[in-house]
A and B are shown apart, each in its own frame.
Chain A
Amino acid sequence: MKNVKIQHGIYKNLPSGTVYNSQAGFLIFAIGIAFKLSAAPGVISGEYGSSTLWAFIVMSAAELLLTAFIFAFVRMRGDDLLRCTASKPYRICCAFASVWLILKGTFYFCYCVSYLARELFGGVEPSLLYLLFLSPAIYLGIKGSRTIARTTEILVPVFFVLIVFNLVFFDTNHDFGRNLPIFSMEPVDFFKNLPRFGLWLGDAIPFAFLRVKNKRLPYITGSIALTLATVLITVMLGVAAYGDSLRMVSDLLIHMAGFNRLSMEIGRMEWTNLFAAVSVSILSLSFIYFGATAACDRAVESRLPAVIFFPLAVIIIIAVVPSSQSVAEFSTRQMGYALSALAVAVPVFMLASALYAKYKYAGIYNCLDDEYVPRELPYPEPPASLADNIMDGFKMQAENQFDALDSGSLKAEEDS
């Protein structure tokens, strides 16, 4: 009997660059809420007003499509195939992906530090914040996917419970009608301005450089659905509570926790979501960093350029640009369109390249090491386990030996 079940608690036996689908699910939730529920609602509300939720819905649909492309690529082992076939277009695509991830990480870092410096740690020297925020992100990113996935797997369930807890006890004066009208501006302007928030898209791109080992339950699909539901419900409540004043909210997740009805009894509750927001931001940054280094590895066969350039870019920006807020604003001007274009182009190109390579190199594709799929072994089946009466087999063998000795057909060897 073949044991095709994946045993829990054997994470260290996972090959490098492989994560379980459950871990991928938790990662999707962490990176999915990190930016979307922190800085994004305030930034988008400043532009869209009552249409903020609808802008979120359109962007979520685009993100869902791109995530589907990435996981289709992962499922067909596109990365392995394109590396086996030494695809030059894929290398170029990975170079772009690496640059894009470095840009996304840098801008996202500035958003995180901006709200931390302005709202939470007003009296703290910003450079200290940069260092304390950057160190764990870099550490996790360099340690790689296993460390990030394991950390996420441990922390994210706690954050999820905290977020749900704060949503359940959410209590403030609100009006769901504030989510109307759908188009607070001309539909043409509505869609034309959306790509400016390109920082939003492409959260799942680092998954392209990972293998996913499946457990039984559909964790990835479930997690995508749960993440979208959490994001859209939170934004809907945010607009209902704040209306157009949502623009002053630099981190919706933290502010929402302030309206917990239990805060009348047990004091301010912002810390609950603050804990979640800061941690998922670090996890998200580290995953982006990991993605940038992995993409660089595919492009130039060395992680080193991205390993050095990502923190360097952040440090240079800190040193050169007077405020992280100006960097964050810059990312939503013309740069936003460039980020969006790359975020869409990279997954589409990756999937198209993989499909073409699968068709062109069908033989290689079939030979790809598929170690986790059970298949017929070329040699006779070994004894399966104790449960398969292996001891009975030994016992029978021993009894036969004794019978042979007793009957004299086999002579016992003498001690030398």
Chain B
Amino acid sequence: MKKFNVTSYALRTKWVVVLLVVALLLIFGRTVNSPALTKTAIVVGVGVDFDEETRQFEVTTQSVQMLSNTSGTGGQRFDVFTAKGNTVSSALDDISQKMGLIVSLAHCEVLFMSQSALKPDHMQTIYPLIAMYALREQAIIVTGSLPPKEMLSTRISTTISSPYFLQTAIVNNEGTDGLIETTAKDLLARSLSRSEATAIPYIVPVKLEDQPQDEKEELKGNYQFDMSKVLVFDHSDCRVLDDELSEILSIYLSTTTYGSLNYTAEDGTSFEFRILDKSVNNSAKGRKISASIELKVDLLDYQFVDSDEILTGASPLIKNAATALGKQLTARMEKLFAVSLETGIDFLGLQAKAYQSVGRSLERDCLPTLSFTPEVKLTVKEAA
């Protein structure tokens, strides 16, 4: 039997390597600047504004602090900090100094951009946040009627943090009423495409008429967000679309669609359809682009209908209403194209689509030379 040689066993290469790695970790690990969680600011929302006169960025962060007291009950506190800098990173570093904590955007789900901040190169504005501050590529981009600093400070009655509210609202209600889940990745993908344009939700804070109350007093300064509008933009221009156009654009651009659609006929009858499923097919044949949107809907509600019967999806009246709604939505899509031509902002992505068909010979800024034929069809089904 082979004798067990302790010295030879201990000096085997693998143990030497293991010891070497352990030694390296012990020596270097203590000198490495790895931030502890207690020294890190957990940012839940970040806002970027740009002053075109001074060419400075104003960055605002909303971070969450976990509180605990002697009784063992915890809580949350939301802090808003703002700083200016020639770059987004310098402003964030300034915030870091003000807070005394290291800024990490790893938990940040919402990025507020002012309309002026959408004018500089999108890649140069957003990429440092992703590469250096760990902002998720899935972070949702939004804009609004107020500067990001004020948007982040806005109190919503149901939750203190506006980024929390927006994240939940957009993810859960995507696809209708102007709620488009445009992520940082999507913004960059569309911005670097031939169309160079995209669309993001445009948030309008409205002060609550009736402020919420607790047991003692009325809680003041609470707002609600009107999220029914969309901002379309490219590097040079932007436009806020009205509710009707925003609704159809969000159906066209969103990955998934929830929510409902309303059709009110000329005689005043009103039908509400819940969207069950959608399919958007774009195709380009040279410079002719066609878009087919097929919506599967379920009848949700109807009012002012002159009928004693209980209407279902099989009723001719409902089918006719669905067909009429399809035509109405088609007309809105055509109107969107007209707005796109008028503003020169290719938010429908038509140049990118034409480029896929025509190829590299397609000249830049060729939107006026393209034709667009949309068609929206609704099929009434029963919800599962």
Q: Which residues of A contact B (CB under 8 A)?
A: 50, 118-119, 122-125, 128, 131-132, 135-136, 139, 142-143, 172-173, 177-178, 180-181, 183-186, 241-245, 248, 250, 255, 258-259, 264, 268
A135 vs B18: C-alpha distance in the bound complex, in angstroms?
10
Measured between beta carbons, the chain B residues less than 8 angstroms from A245 are 123, 185, 188-189, 191-192
Q: How far is the CB of A283 from chain B (nearest CB, A)?
A: 16
Q: Are A185 and B360 in contact (CB under 8 A)?
A: yes
Known A132-B21, A243-B190: A181·B359 in contact at CB below 8 Å: yes
**A–B complex contacts, Cβ < 8 Å, 21 sampled:** A118-B131, A128-B28, A132-B21, A135-B17, A135-B20, A135-B24, A173-B181, A173-B186, A173-B255, A177-B282, A178-B189, A178-B193, A181-B357, A183-B360, A185-B360, A242-B185, A242-B188, A244-B189, A245-B185, A248-B127, A248-B131
B13 CB within 8 Å of chain A: yes
The answer, yes or no, to whether B75 is at the interface (CB within 8 Å) is no
Q: Which of B112-147 contact A (CB under 8 A)?
A: 123, 127, 130-132, 136-138
Footprint of A on B, CB under 8 Å?
13-14, 17, 20-21, 24-25, 28, 31-35, 106, 123, 127, 130-132, 136-138, 171, 181, 183, 185-186, 188-193, 254-255, 282, 352-353, 355-360
Chain A residues closer than 8 Å to B357, beta-carbon distance:
180-181
**B190–A248 touching, CB < 8 Å:** no
Cα-based distance from A173 to B131 in the complex (angstroms): 21
**Which residue of the partner chain B has the closest CB to A240?**
B189
Residue numbers in B under 8 Å from A268 (CB-CB): 106, 136
Inter-chain contact B360/A181, CB cutoff 8 Å: yes
Knowing that A132-B21, A177-B356, A181-B355 touch, tell me 6 more A-B residue pairs with CB under 8 angstroms: A125-B28, A173-B254, A177-B353, A178-B193, A244-B189, A245-B191
Contact: A243 with B31, CB < 8 Å? no
- B200 vs chain A, min Cβ distance (A): 13
Closest B residue to A131 using CB positions: B24
Q: Tell me how far the C-beta of A129 lies from the nearest C-beta in chain B, rounded to whole angstroms.
A: 10
Asked if A248 and B17 make an inter-chain contact with CB atoms under 8 angstroms apart, the answer reads: no
Complex formed: what's the CA distance from A243 to B193 in Å? 7
Across the interface, name the chain A residue whose C-beta is closest to B358.
A181
Which of A132, A248, A259 is close to B138, meaning CB atoms less than 8 Å apart? Answer: A259
The CB with the most chain B CB atoms within 10 A, among A139, A243, A258, is that of A243
A122-B132, A139-B14, A243-B192 known; A172+B255 contact, CB < 8 A: yes
Chain A residues near B193 (CB-CB < 8 A)? 178, 243-244
The contact of A143 among B13, B191, B255, B356, by CB within 8 Å, is B13
Q: A118-B131, A258-B138 are in contact. Are A241 and B28 (CB under 8 A)?
A: no
Closest chain B CB from A13 CB (angstroms): 17
Pick from A177, A250, A258 the residue with the most CB of B within 10 Å: A177
3 closest Cβ pairs, A-B complex: A245-B188, A243-B189, A244-B192
Most B Cβ at <10 Å: residue of A50, A119, A143: A50
Report the Cα distance A125→B185, complex, angstroms.
29
- Closest A residue to B21 by beta carbon equals A135
Residues in A neighbouring B186, C-beta threshold 8 A: 173
CB-nearest residue of chain B to A245: B188
Measured between beta carbons, the chain A residues less than 8 angstroms from B106 are: 268
- Interchain CB contact under 8 A, A123 and B35: yes
Q: Is the CB of B255 within 8 A of A125?
A: no
Q: Give min CB distance, A273 to chain B, whole Å.
A: 14
Distance (whole angstroms) from the CB of A323 to the closest CB of chain B = 15
Q: Could you tell me the distance between the alpha carbons of A177 and B283 in the complex, rounded to whole angstroms?
A: 9
Closest to B254 in A: A173
Q: How far apart sit A172 and B232, CA to CA, in the bound complex (Å)?
A: 21
Are A123 and B32 also in contact (CB < 8 A) when A172-B255, A173-B186, A244-B189 are? Answer: yes
Known: A243-B190, A248-B127. A255 touches B137 (CB 8 A): yes
The residues of A that contact B20 with a CB separation of less than 8 Å are 135
Asked whether A139 lies within 8 Å of B137 as measured between CB atoms, the reply is: no
In the assembled complex, the Cα of A125 lies from the Cα of B255 at a distance in Å of: 41
Task: Please report the C-alpha to C-alpha distance between residue A136 and residue B17 in the assembled complex, in whole angstroms.
Answer: 8
Min CB gap B73→A, angstroms:
25
With CB as the reference atom, state the residue of chain B lying closest to A263: B138
Q: Which residues of A contact B360 (CB under 8 A)?
A: 181, 183-186
- Tell me how far the C-beta of A20 lies from the nearest C-beta in chain B, rounded to whole angstroms: 22
- Return chain A residues, CB-CB under 8 Å to B21: 132, 135-136
Given contacts A245-B189, A258-B138, contact A123 B282 (CB under 8 A): no
* B230: min CB distance to chain A, Å: 16
Closest-CB distance, A244 to chain B (whole angstroms): 4
The answer to whether residues A180 and B356 also contact, given A128-B24, A139-B14 and a CB cut-off of 8 A, is yes
A313 to chain B, nearest CB (A): 20
